[in-house]
Amino acid sequence: MTEIDGTPLDRLSGSDLEVVRECLTAAVHGPFFPEWEFHTIFGLERDDVAEVLDRWPETANPEGQDLAVKDALNNLLGYPHGQEQAWREFISAQPSEVAAVLARWRGENAWDPSPRGHFDRME
């Protein structure tokens, strides 16, 4: 997969930044990820992701921000949360749009929608 140059924030438009904000909000405040499993899924505590959300798009911890954004978008797309109705309450973008934002954040010019793609993005 070819990578696109620039930092993750440089690659996002204003509307992309809002999609990320909605996804971070959904991850922190929505019904998508049970508390007992949150750290395992994200590699961060819910409070850590909430801190990224509170500062978005600014950050005091670029590595934590990167992990929170990648995992929020990727897991909303691929984790079997079964919360399609809640998606519409938290996120105005369609899943395909969220996937495109995640690809730009990661610096990729293509999106792999397969289950393997989901797990490959969990680096």
Tokens at 44, concatenated? 């961060």
Q: Residue 1 domain-assigned?
A: no
Query: In degrees, to the nearest 5, what angle opens at C-alpha 118 toward C-alphas 115 and 122?
Result: 140
Helix ranges, 3-82 (H): 14-29, 35-42, 46-55, 62-78
Give 54-107 pLDDT, tens digit per residue: 999 998 899 999 999 999 999 999 887 888 899 999 999 999 999 999 999 998
Distances (CA, A) of 118 to 6, 14, 69, 75, 121: 23, 25, 14, 8, 5
In a domain, 3, yes or no: no
Task: Give the range of the structural domain holding residue 113, as residue numbers without chain letter.
Answer: 9-120
Q: Would the pTM count as exceeding 0.75? A: yes
Domain count, the chain: 1
The label of the residue with tokens 């798009």 reads 57
pLDDT of residue 87: 94
Q: pLDDT by residue (tens digit) across 9-55?
A: 999 999 999 999 999 999 999 999 999 999 999 999 999 999 999 99
Identify whether 42 is part of a domain. yes
